[in-house]
Amino acid sequence: MKPPARFWLIRHAPVSNGARQILYGTMDVELCAESLAAAAPLCQILAARLPRPAQWIVSPLSRTRLTADAIFAAGYPRTAPAVEAAMIEQNLGTWQGLVHAELPAQLSRPAHPFWPLAGRERPPGGESMADVIDRVGPSLESLAERHAGRDVVIVGHGGAIRAAVAHALGIPADAALSLSIHNLSLTRIERHPNAWRVVSVNEVAES
């Protein structure tokens, strides 16, 4: 029987205060330097806990690579992460760059209680959360096939991690948006031969 592929999903560190005021989606916004410095103890905990060896993966956005760099600086043996385009954040299309107060007038359906958009709301030129699940799921299946029996650390985004859990559990987009995924939190899922298993969601270390 093929051994499981084990995924360790980490959401990137907090973005800058300016970026938090807008819908940034796939914009390549900066990390908050002060928050990253304050999170050094959390990075040390992650560095000590994450499996060795492991295949490391980041999204195309710099905030995931810089978060991986912070974990390496905190003690995890430095490696060269692969870039997986499918693990990028939800693309909010022409709504990216809007301040949050400007969004409600653009929506075609009520917002989700825990996210500015409902699960099937597709921004012009962008993706719905359902689209993100459809994007992330096949990527995970491919990674699981290539890395059976191995550990894979993915430094990604809140939307992509929710999509990964949704794919593993087979839940719809609106249910996925009810998952809380904090910055620098750890979510673990495994691909076994006949099923996905969710080990933990949104583990936040105590510094």
SS3 label, residue 82: strand
DSSP string, 133-155: HHHHHHHHHHHHHHTTTSEEEEE
Terminus-to-terminus CA distance in the chain, angstroms?
39
* C-beta of residue 6 within 8 angstroms of C-beta of residue 198: no
Say what the pTM is.
Answer: 0.96
Report in angstroms the alpha-carbon separations of 158 from 9, 180, 199: 10, 8, 17
The CATH number given to 5-203 is: 3.40.50.1240
Q: What is the pLDDT along the chain (207 residues), one digit of tens a residue?
A: 778 999 999 999 999 999 999 999 999 999 999 999 999 999 999 999 999 999 999 999 999 999 999 999 999 999 999 999 999 999 999 999 999 999 999 999 999 999 999 999 999 999 999 999 999 999 999 999 999 999 999 999 999 999 999 999 999 999 999 999 999 999 999 999 999 999 999 999 775
